A and B are shown apart, each in its own frame.
Chain A
C-alpha cells in the first residue's frame, strides 16, 4: 500500500538502520534508502524526479539541527514531505525549535518498535491520503478546465445562430429601421433564440423563441429550432401558419414537459403594419410616435405540446416613428432587489420612461435602468429586441 515512492532514512551509521528498515518493510514500504550525513544532500538532489514519501532523520546525524531542517524545507520537492526526527530531545524548547524549523513530528526515544511502527504508519497513511486528494483536485481542475473550454466553444456556436451585425445593418438599410438586441443567458448556454430575415423588399420576418428551462438541454433545442427554421418550405410570410408548421415538427422531437414559447412576426413597412402570431410568448409592445403604448394580444399553445395546435394572426399598426419591443418572459418575471417580480407593468413603465430621451437606440439605456432594480444574476435567459421604424426615407432599394 505504501510502496512506490521511497522512504529516505538519514542515519549516522547506515549499517545500524536495520530495525528501521524492517519496520518500514512490514508497513509495506518497498523502497528504502539509508544515507549518512554526506549522502543526504545527494539523496535529496536525486529526489527531484521522484520525491520521497517520507524522510526519517536520526538526530545523531552529523550536521543535524534546525538549520538542516530549514534547508530541506526550502527545497520544492520536499515542501510537503513529512520529515520525522528520531532521537532524544533535551528540552521542550529544543523540540519546539525543531518543529518550527520544519519537522513534521518528533519520535522521542526510548521508543519500542511497535510504537515506532504505529507512528510511522500514521504519517505514511496521511501522506498517501494527501497525495490521493491532490490527485483528485488535479483531475477536477483538468476536468473543469476542459469543460469550460467546451462550454466556451458551444457558447460561440450558440451566438453564431443569432443574426450578426452585418445582417442587422443590412436589414436596417433595406427596411428603414433601427434594430437593437440583447441576449443574455443565465448560464453558459441558454434556451433563447431570435432571428430576423428579409421576405421581400417591403417585408421582413422576425422571431423570438424561449425553450423551457435553460442550460445545455434548452440550448440543444435552440439548435433544433434553428435547423427547422432554415427549411425553405416554411410559410414564412404567414406567422400563424409558420408556428403551426414548426409546432408539428417539434411535437415528438421534444421530450415530455419541454416546449417553446415563440412569437413570429412579419413587418410590412409599406402597409405600416405588423402581423404576428404567438405560441405562449409574452405580449408584444408597440410604442407609437406620440409615446402611446399598445400591448398586443397573445394566445396560443407553446410549441411542441400538442400536434393539432392552431395559431392566430394578430395585427398592429407599425408606422414610421413607432417602435416594437419583443422580449422573453425573464424580463418581467425577474425579481428585483426587493424580492418583488418586475412584472409586465414594470416593462411598460420602463418603455414609457424612455419617451423623452430621443435616442435612436435606447435599449442600452433601458437595460441600464432595468439592471439598477433587478440583480444581474438572472434566473432565466433574457432576450430583448428593439426595432424602431425611421421617420426619414429608407436608404435601401424599394
Chain B
C-alpha cells in the first residue's frame, strides 16, 4: 500500500493506492499517529485507487475509526471500487463508517 496526503484546512484526505491487507498495518499506525500532531478535524480515506482489501484490511478500518472517535476526528470513506466496494457492501461497513460510494 501507498498513500498521498492532501490537507485543506482541518480536512485531511488520504488517497490510498494498491492493497489494504495486514501489511498496511505500519502505514495505518503512522497515519493515525500523524492525526494528533496535524490538528486534523475531519479525515477522508479515498479508496478509489485501492484494488484489493481483505478482512485484515477491514480490521485496519475499524482500528482507524476507533482511533478517530477517540481523537474527536470525523472519519469517512470515499469511492471504493470493484472488490473493495463489494467487500464493504457485503460487510455493511458503511453502517459503522460513513462511506460515499
Contact = CB atoms under 8 A, between A and B. Distances in A.
A213 B22 contact: yes
A329 B55 contact: yes
Given A256-B63, A257-B60, A341-B83, A278 B55 contact: no
A258 B52 CA distance: 19
B55 A212 contact: yes
Nearest to A211: B55
Contacts, number: 58
A300 B90 CA distance: 6
Contact of A301 (B54, B60, B92): B92
A320 interface: no
A91 B52 CA distance: 72
Nearest to A257: B59
A284 B90 CA distance: 12
Given A282-B90, A298-B90, A301-B91, A258 B83 contact: no
Interface string B33-67: 00000000000000000001011101110110010
B95 interface: yes
B83 A257 contact: no
A299 B90 contact: yes
A261 B83 contact: no
B54 A380 contact: yes
Interface in A288-316: 298-302, 305-306, 309
Which secondary structure dominates chain A's binding surface?
Answer: loop
A302 B66 contact: no
Nearest to B83: A341
Most buried by B among A212, A256, A278, A281: A212
A244 interface: no
Given A212-B59, A259-B59, A341-B83, A299 B54 contact: no
Nearest to B53: A333
A281 B90 contact: yes
B66 to A, nearest CB: 6
5 closest cross-chain pairs (CB), A and B: A257-B59, A280-B91, A257-B63, A301-B92, A212-B55
Given A213-B22, A301-B96, 16 more contacts: A212-B55, A212-B56, A212-B59, A257-B60, A257-B63, A259-B55, A259-B59, A280-B55, A282-B90, A299-B90, A300-B91, A301-B91, A302-B55, A302-B91, A306-B95, A341-B52
